[in-house]
Chains A and B, each alone.
Chain A
Amino acid sequence: MSMQSSLDIQARSATTTPSPSVRKSAAVAKLIDESKCIGCKACQVACMEWNDLRDEVGTNVGVYDNPQDLSPNSWTLMRFAEVETAEHNLSWLIRKDGCMHCADPGCLKACPAPGAIVQYSNGIVDFKQENCIGCGNCITGCPFDIPRISKKDNKAYKCTLCSDRVSVGLEPACVKTCPTGAITFGDKEDMVHYAEKRVGELKERGYKAAGMYDPKGVGGTHVMYVLRHADTPEAYSGLPKDPQISTMVSAWKGVFKPLALLGMGLTAALGFFHYVKVGPNEVEEEKEEA
């Protein structure tokens, strides 16, 4: 969905040759400091506004999560969890969910449509809906359960990290709107430094398990968290502790793909050269008479 120039594409789905990549931009990152989040959902609203999306009005099922889940029209979502982080210590853990923009994106790996998913050199992973065939392999590949297929057009949608805004030097809409400064954006390097500083502060305040969430299993992410309870990320509405592309997906889209083609090609070639060697298997004329 982006208007970002195509000059700096680092990876492109279902493409075996290099993409336009003469330009190189610095890696960016969005840092979500969960300890500063008040769950106001301004980021959800800003996302809707900037991307001009309106989800259907849902129903109140007695929790703060609204809407209930990510959708083709809701690319980010506050998830609220009531968790007993220590004995008799109930915590209300609020996490802004959405695409993590993995350095090693499972969606891009699983996608069969050339150019339906691209990764820019700044690390943003973007869906190009005009190339999407609607198969849903991106969902199969994603370790965070983020992409959603629209029932209206059978295309997959997710957070773009406002690649259109970022490409012209603006911060993502959610970052701009966050009233507490819980969401910040910049060069990934700077964001890591800032996160480390925040983690230090939180530890001083007694959050011994505070830490940065930049999971190495997916090569690191371009959306990172500062978590007060980084030892149990699952407590934040199921944020995976050690996310990685499933072995099934990497086998299917990795080693198996060339092997299968080789196997089929070899079978056909063996047949052909067998014919060249032994010739047709014919019934001799005399036997035909018998």
Chain B
Amino acid sequence: MSRTIPRYTEGERRNHWIVAISFVLAALSGLALFHPSLFWLSNLFGGGPWSRILHPYIGIVMFLFFLVTMVRFWKHNRLEARDRQWLAQWRDAISQDEGRLPESGRYNGGQKIVFWLSVICMFVLLVTGILFWRAQFGELFPIWLIRLAALLHALAATIMIMTIIVHVYAAIWVKGSLRAMVRGDVTAAWAKKHHAAWYREMTR
């Protein structure tokens, strides 16, 4: 057995997966209402009206649990000089030339970008979503604001979905990452390879 290093507590994992599941549901129901060619996705939720009814509630669950995740990981995601260097060398990062990359702490530059994009998108999605949640707020807001909100909601959702595709792909590509969020720990070798600075900190 190789040595392992704890990365996520049970609470952190549970929270992450609630956000993940509600994100998938919100994304699928949202896409159903976004593009005609994806309207069939509404069948997963019991039809068009049910998709329309459920989508905002799913979104609110997602946002609330995301808030917890955000607060927990905020301090680990401050962008540092080495992260900027990491990002400048993104070509090395995706071509298996990790040796040439600067050391990363608990998160690398790419992960931090995913974090901050998620934070921005989540807040935009919540605010704009409330602005055109007609079943709850009817005609409370001026029409120009509702129109702007609808456009921004779609924009933020698109960026969010693309970000999460990258996030999920990274977890599939970088072997040994998924267990951090499933079992809570990673191998020492994994930590050393991908997050050398964090590894030193954890094994001091």
- Size class of the A contact interface (CB-based, 8 Å): 35 or more
Quick check: A257 and B35 within 8 Å, CB to CB?
yes
Asked if B134 contacts A135 (CB within 8 A), the reply is: yes
Q: How large is the interface on B (under 10, 10 to 19, 20 to 34, 35 or more residues)?
A: 35 or more
User: Is A260 in contact with B150, judged by CB distance below 8 angstroms?
Assistant: no
| Bound CA–CA A53/B195 (angstroms) | 68
Q: Is the CB of A154 within 8 A of B135?
A: yes
Nearest CB in chain B to that of A135: its residue: B52
Q: Given the complex of chains A and B, what is the CA–CA distance between A284 and B34 in angstroms?
A: 44
Question: From residue 117 to 149 of chain B, which have CB atoms closer than 8 A to chain A?
Answer: 132, 134-135, 138, 143-144, 146-148
A260 to B38, CA, bound (A): 12
Q: Which residues of A contact B154 (CB under 8 A)?
A: 252, 256, 260
* A271-B35 contact given A140-B132, A248-B148, CB 8 Å threshold: no
Could you tell me if A281 and B52 are in contact, using CB atoms closer than 8 angstroms?
Answer: no
Interface stretch of the complex, out of A58-66, A118-126, A174-182, A272-280: A272-280
* Residues on B with beta carbons closer than 8 Å to the beta carbon of A14: 36, 39
Given the known inter-chain contacts A246-B147, A256-B151, please indicate yes or no for A264 contacting B158, CB distance below 8 A: yes
Q: Is B189's CB under 8 angstroms from A275's CB?
A: no
User: Which residues from chain B contact A149 at a C-beta distance below 8 Å?
Assistant: 134, 138
Question: Shortest CB–CB separation between residue A158 and chain B, in angstroms?
Answer: 15
> When the two chains form the complex, which single residue of B36, B47, B96, B158 contacts A278, counting CB atoms closer than 8 Å?
B96
B190 close to A (CB within 8 Å): yes
Taking a contact as CB atoms closer than 8 A, the residue among B39, B52, B189 that contacts A283 in the complex is B189
The CA of A142 and the CA of B98, in the complex, are separated in Å by 54
A278 adjacent to B94 (CB under 8 Å): yes
- At the interface, yes or no: B14 with Cβ under 8 Å from chain A? no
Do A267 and B165 have beta carbons less than 8 Å apart?
A: yes
- Are A260 and B192 within 8 A (Cβ)? no
Q: Is the CB of A278 within 8 A of B95?
A: yes
Would A275 and B36 count as touching, CB distance under 8 A?
Answer: no
* Residue in chain A with minimal CB distance to B95: A278
Interface pairs A-B: 3 shortest CB-CB? A136-B134, A133-B48, A271-B169
Residues of B bordering A, CB below 8 Å: 2, 32-39, 42, 47-49, 51-52, 94-96, 98, 132, 134-135, 138, 143-144, 146-148, 150-151, 154-155, 158, 161-162, 165-166, 169, 172-176, 187-190, 192-193
Known: A112-B32, A275-B169, A289-B189. 5 other contacts (CB 8 A): A112-B34, A256-B154, A263-B158, A271-B173, A283-B190
Query: Can you list 5 A-B contacts (CB < 8 A)?
Result: A114-B36, A133-B33, A246-B147, A248-B144, A268-B165
